[in-house]
């Protein structure tokens, strides 16, 4: 990439620096990253000797703290040393088929959230799944080698299908783990940083890669799952998992007052009625969040100690948590605002990343076709009847 096209003017049009990337200058002076904090990757070393990463998110709405601590934070860290593909999995939202408008909107929301946390489209490809239709093609071939029972036993899929309750489950929902395997295998990824609930899908992908490689030819690396610092974040209501559908999430784009209000309403130790009652730390969401997000370890230790002794009120514990969360989210909000005012950059990030993924897909599909011996039309090329 040359600077004539990609250099950003040394002016206020710079994005605010990433919340998580480390400082020190580099040679990348892209439109998307702050020259002060950009990575050290030079335009010529794209992917050289680097392991490939593919991971993804379904476009169903804004991203929350659970996504951040379980995955995004890890992605930002990993993008420096890996060749990354970040996928917006719009083939995999059949449960939102009745609300396509929301999906279309969420594609942008997710891309904005990614930019906001510091994912850098100059280093990492932002990919819209359905614009790389090879995903669907590969998923179909892979499904040949997947026994039905293996899908039926997948614990994550089972739990999600139960959430459908009485309504019927679309076939595409049942088979989404195959699509996910295709997502991972198409760029021949080595690593898949995901939340804990996704590990069964990575395991399935490994199995499919092994079967394909064994039966035909070594085409796919066996990818490894990589779980983030907080594998599963509880919701603000104390439910086991933060999620949009349970309405128990703190979103990366929530303004400070909303975060403060959500924290104020958080579920805490139900056995504690007065600030002078000794409280429980274990399993208390407020303290789980302090652990996960408050970098001031001394403050956390002090609050825990006083809480156990009945020497601090919930109000103070929550105020300190809200302050820590807002400090974490402030730079993310700032970057989000920057890109919200420059939607052309978001568009270019998606377009360029998708085009990169399409190239990688072409390479892999050529290998797959070759392995499967699909060159039907190579036969009878020289038959004289063609001369007519």
Binding site for ligand TRP (CB under 6 A): 54-58, 87, 89, 92, 180, 183-184, 192, 194, 198
Q: What are phi and psi of 377, to 5 degrees?
A: -80, 0
Which uninterrupted H or E stretch holds 57? strand 52-57
Residue with tokens 């400070």: 256
Cβ closer to ligand TRP: 322 or 350? 350
Residue of minimal Cβ distance to ligand TRP: 56
Spatial CA neighbour of 255 closest among 333, 199, 161 = 333
Cβ closer to ligand TRP: 106 or 192? 192
Name the minimum Å distance from CB 155 to ligand TRP: 14
Name the minimum Å distance from CB 57 to ligand TRP: 5
Cβ closer to ligand TRP: 37 or 55? 55
Cβ closer to ligand TRP: 38 or 93? 93
Q: Which residues contact 28 (CB under 8 A, 6 or more apart)?
A: 38, 39, 40, 41, 42, 43, 120, 122, 123
Please say whether the dihedral angle defined by the alpha carbons of residues 218, 215, 369 and 130, taken in this order, is positive or negative: negative
Name the minimum Å distance from CB 166 to ligand TRP: 22
Pairing of strands 83-88, 124-128: parallel
Name the minimum Å distance from CB 171 to ligand TRP: 17
CA separation for the pair 128, 353 (Å, rounded):
8
Cβ closer to ligand TRP: 93 or 325? 93
Q: 3-state class of 24 per DSSP?
A: coil
Cβ closer to ligand TRP: 39 or 92? 92
Q: What are phi and psi of 260, to 5 degrees?
A: -60, -45
Name the minimum Å distance from CB 36 to ligand TRP: 31
**Token pair in block for residue 249:** 């999430």
Name the minimum Å distance from CB 92 to ligand TRP: 5
**Token pair in block for residue 289:** 């969040």
Cβ closer to ligand TRP: 16 or 223? 223
Name the minimum Å distance from CB 263 to ligand TRP: 25
The partner residues of 87 in beta bridges, in order of sequence, read 56, 127
The partner residues of 126 in beta bridges, in order of sequence, read 86
Spatial CA neighbour of 83 closest among 54, 114, 56, 52 = 52
């Amino acid at each position: 990439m040359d600077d004539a096209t990609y250099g950003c003017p040394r002016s206020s049009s710079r994005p605010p620096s990433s919340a998580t990337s480390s400082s020190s200058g580099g040679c990348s002076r892209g439109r998307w990253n702050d020259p002060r904090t950009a990575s050290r990757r030079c335009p010529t070393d794209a992917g050289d000797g680097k392991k490939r990463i593919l991971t993804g998110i379904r476009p169903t709405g804004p991203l929350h703290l659970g996504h951040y601590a379980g995955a995004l934070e890890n992605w930002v860290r990993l993008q420096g040393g890996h060749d990354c593909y970040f996928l917006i999995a719009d083939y995999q939202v059949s449960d939102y088929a009745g609300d396509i408008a929301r999906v279309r909107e969420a594609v942008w929301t997710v891309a904005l959230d990614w930019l906001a946390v510091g994912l850098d489209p100059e280093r990492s490809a932002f990919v819209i799944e359905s614009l790389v239709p090879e995903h669907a093609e590969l998923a179909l071939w892979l499904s040949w080698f997947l026994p039905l029972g293996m899908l039926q036993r997948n614990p994550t899929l089972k739990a999600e299908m139960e959430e459908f309750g009485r309504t019927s489950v679309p076939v595409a929902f049942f088979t989404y783990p195959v699509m996910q395997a295709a997502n991972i295998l198409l760029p021949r990824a080595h690593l898949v940083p995901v939340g804990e609930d996704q590990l069964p899908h990575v395991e399935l992908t490994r199995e499919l890669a092994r079967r394909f490689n064994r039966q035909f030819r070594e085409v796919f690396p066996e990818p490894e799952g990589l779980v983030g610092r907080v594998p599963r974040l509880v919701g603000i209501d104390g439910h086991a998992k933060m999620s949009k559908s349970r309405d128990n999430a703190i979103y990366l784009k929530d303004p400070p007052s909303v975060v403060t209000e959500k924290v104020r309403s958080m579920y805490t130790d139900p056995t504690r009625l007065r600030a002078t009652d000794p409280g429980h730390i274990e399993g208390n969401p407020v303290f789980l969040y302090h652990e996960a997000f408050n970098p001031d370890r001394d403050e956390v230790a002090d609050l825990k100690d006083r809480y156990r002794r009945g020497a601090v009120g919930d109000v103070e514990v929550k105020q300190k948590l809200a302050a820590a969360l807002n400090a974490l989210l402030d730079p993310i909000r700032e970057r989000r605002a920057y890109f919200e005012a420059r939607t052309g950059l978001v568009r270019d990030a998606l377009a360029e990343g998708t085009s990169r993924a399409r190239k990688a897909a072409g390479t892999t599909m050529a290998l797959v076709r070759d392995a499967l011996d699909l060159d039907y039309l190579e036969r009878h090329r020289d038959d004289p009847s063609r001369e007519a």
